[in-house]
Structure 1
Amino acid sequence: MCNICLIEGVKAHMLSRRSLFSGAAVTAAAGLAAGALSARPALAQASGRVVDLTHAYDSDFPTFDGQPGILYETDKDFEPDGYHLFKLTIFEHTGTHIDAPLHFSQGGTSVDALPVENLIAPLCVVDISDRAAEDPNAMVEPADIEAWISAHGAIPEGACIAMHSGWSARIGDPSWRNLPDGTMAFPGFSRAATDLLAEAGAGSIGVDTMSLDPGNSADFAVHYAWLPSGRFGIEGLANLDQLPASGATIFIGAPKHRGGTGGPARVMALV
């Protein structure tokens, strides 16, 4: 999620929350390191099937502010140079990408500094696709998390909790981003749900939409609570419908540009 019109609001908000979350981020970092360890049982039982959770994207891929998220410029062509090479201009928060803590917090962890053990984790898929088909701004609520736990057991320490809303099938259609009247609309997490996940020891959250918050969010409450706590998010996931609710392991190929607030990522799951 990225919108230049929000910059001033972001600055003001993150300064007011700095002291509140400084201690929480330290606590979170200590707990989240269990992600890769928690994934080991699932890895041992995996069938070997790999599911690509990443959309291929180009300058037509929808973005939060409506501007192209990636631009190509030919630097070398096979004729006469003997090889191909593009110069790319990329905005961090486009395509399937990571939101690092720094994206919505002053002094938060940058994407290159995310502990690598947090980039392999048990994957829990919460399916709200039926509700999202009726309500384009549907949210993952605490009741959805409680229902998942009731059906599948406790959330593993450091797990990634992914929202499956069915939105991935809308890529290429304007409804992935907007209602017919142009109003932004897509599912996301509720703040109450992510607070519950933080208490449960989850390490990251993911969505198959453009933003961790629903499209009609006016305050980006999830971004302002989840990211400053030292956790990260993944936006624009693909193919969550091909995964079980529990038992898969996610591999998050985070970019490593120094000081980055996030960036396009290659994300896969092993089932």
Structure 2
Amino acid sequence: MQFGRLASARVVDLSLTLSERLPGTWPGHMSFAHHNWNWFAEVEGPTGKTRSAAPYQTNFIVIDEHCGTHFDAPTHFVPPEGSGLPYASELGDETGDRVPVEELMGPAAVVDVRSLAGEGKPGISPFIEPGHVEAWEREHGALREGEVVLFRTGWDRFYVEGEEGRGYMEGALVTGDLPGWPAPSPQCVLYLHERGVKTIGIDAPSIGSAHDGVPVHQEGLSRGMRYVEILTNLGELPARGAFFVFLPLKIAGSSGGPGRAIAFLPG
């Protein structure tokens, strides 16, 4: 193993920051919360006196499994065998802690679809179709089995505090007055699966569209694909040449979970 090459590689952080003031929580799910439990000394705060059992700081968090930069395990949309529900299979038992971490990493193929970002309608996402991927392949070569396809939509520019942050999720999903993010169609995901791609990432709130996100999750996750969502900084990666890694929290029985996404670039 060539550890020297790894040691000299540049690391690009592809994860977004979690904060109650940032739009990382899916509307209607448990809101992200981060609060102090113990501080270095007792101090008066907005909710009263902060306890201090010893001179150290620790905080606690409340978080939905699909908040911030996270991944979807098959069981997020695939029911277990014997449930009698559509798409039920043995993959319904593949919880987040059972997904092999080596399947959440690989050579990155960054597909730039920012041109679609202005084509959405209020509450509706424009679809990334197989033709968009085929156009990328004509320029950069055919996708290879084991590559991780990362869709660069540019939607992470809306991951900000305040009114502008409504453009990330709220405007499309809650009020319906703003356009949805570019998202792969079910046909696009099936095309990638046929190419041997197992993991897909996106710098938008979801692989699913704002107006109909269920089918693309069912089609991909039922085939054992993995989705990494709410990425950022994909513009720092070349179309090919980076190595993508996502390491989720290992939560028993989870439907996926938050984690840290990075990419290695040759030094």
**Which TM-score band applies after superposition, normalised by the shorter structure?**
0.7 to 0.9
C-alpha distance 129-47 of structure 1, shift in aligned 2 (>3 A): farther
Q: Which residue in the other structure is 2:186 paired with?
A: 191
Q: Which residue in the other structure is 2:155 paired with?
A: 167
Q: Which residue in the other structure is 1:255 paired with?
A: 249
Q: CA deviation at 1:134?
A: 3.3
Q: What is the SS of the residue equivalent to 2:117? A: helix
Q: CA deviation at 1:168?
A: 0.8
Tell me how far apart the structure 1 counterparts of residues 166 and 230 of structure 2 sit (CA, whole Å). 15
Tell me how far apart the structure 1 counterparts of residues 184 and 26 of structure 2 sit (CA, whole Å). 17
AA of the residue aligned to 1:127:
D
Greater CA drift, 68-77 or 252-261: 68-77
User: 1:1-271 residue pairs with structure 2 within 5 A?
Assistant: 48-62=9-23, 63-66=25-28, 69-79=31-41, 80=52, 81-107=54-80, 108=92, 109-135=94-120, 137-172=125-160, 173-179=165-171, 182-183=175-176, 185-217=180-212, 220-271=214-265
Contact map agreement 2:29 2:64 (CA 8 A) in 1? no
Tell me how far apart the structure 2 counterparts of residues 176 and 76 of structure 1 sit (CA, whole Å). 33
Contact map agreement 1:212 1:235 (CA 8 A) in 2? yes
Tell me how far apart the structure 1 counterparts of residues 5 and 145 of structure 2 sit (CA, whole Å). 17
Determine which structure has more spread, i.e. the larger CA radius of gyration.
2
Post-superposition Cα deviations, 1:26-52, rounded to whole Å, max 9, x if no partner, equal xxxxxxxxxxxxxx99x9699712111
Q: What is the SS of the residue equivalent to 1:258? A: coil
Q: TM-score, normalised by structure 1?
A: 0.78
AA of the residue aligned to 2:132:
D
What stretches of structure 2 of length at least 5 have no aligned partner? 42-51, 81-91
Q: CA RMSD in A?
A: 2.4
Greater CA drift, 261-270 or 108-117: 108-117
Identity %: 33
C-alpha distance 46-192 of structure 1, shift in aligned 2 (>3 A): farther
Tell me how far apart the structure 1 counterparts of residues 198 and 127 of structure 2 sit (CA, whole Å). 19
Tell me how far apart the structure 2 counterparts of residues 92 and 67 of structure 1 sit (CA, whole Å). 10
Tell me how far apart the structure 2 counterparts of residues 131 and 119 of structure 1 sit (CA, whole Å). 26
Q: TM-score, normalised by structure 2?
A: 0.79
Q: CA deviation at 1:239?
A: 0.6
C-alpha distance 102-68 of structure 1, shift in aligned 2 (>3 A): closer
Contact map agreement 1:166 1:208 (CA 8 A) in 2? yes
C-alpha distance 68-61 of structure 1, shift in aligned 2 (>3 A): farther
Contact map agreement 2:27 2:170 (CA 8 A) in 1? no
Say how many residue pairs are matched: 230
Post-superposition Cα deviations, 1:121-170, rounded to whole Å, max 9, x if no partner, equal 11111111022123362222101111122122221212211111110111
Q: CA deviation at 1:252?
A: 0.6
Q: Which residue in the other structure is 2:87 paired with?
A: none
Greater CA drift, 164-173 or 153-162: 153-162
What stretches of structure 1 of length at least 5 have no aligned partner? 1-39
Contact map agreement 1:140 1:193 (CA 8 A) in 2? yes
Contact map agreement 1:119 1:253 (CA 8 A) in 2? yes
> Hey, which of these two has a bigger chunk of helix by percent?
1
AA of the residue aligned to 2:115:
D
C-alpha distance 214-232 of structure 1, shift in aligned 2 (>3 A): same
Tell me how far apart the structure 1 counterparts of residues 57 and 192 of structure 2 sit (CA, whole Å). 46
AA of the residue aligned to 2:79:
Q
C-alpha distance 227-83 of structure 1, shift in aligned 2 (>3 A): same
Q: What is the SS of the residue equivalent to 2:246? A: strand
Greater CA drift, 123-132 or 196-205: 123-132
Contact map agreement 1:178 1:186 (CA 8 A) in 2? no
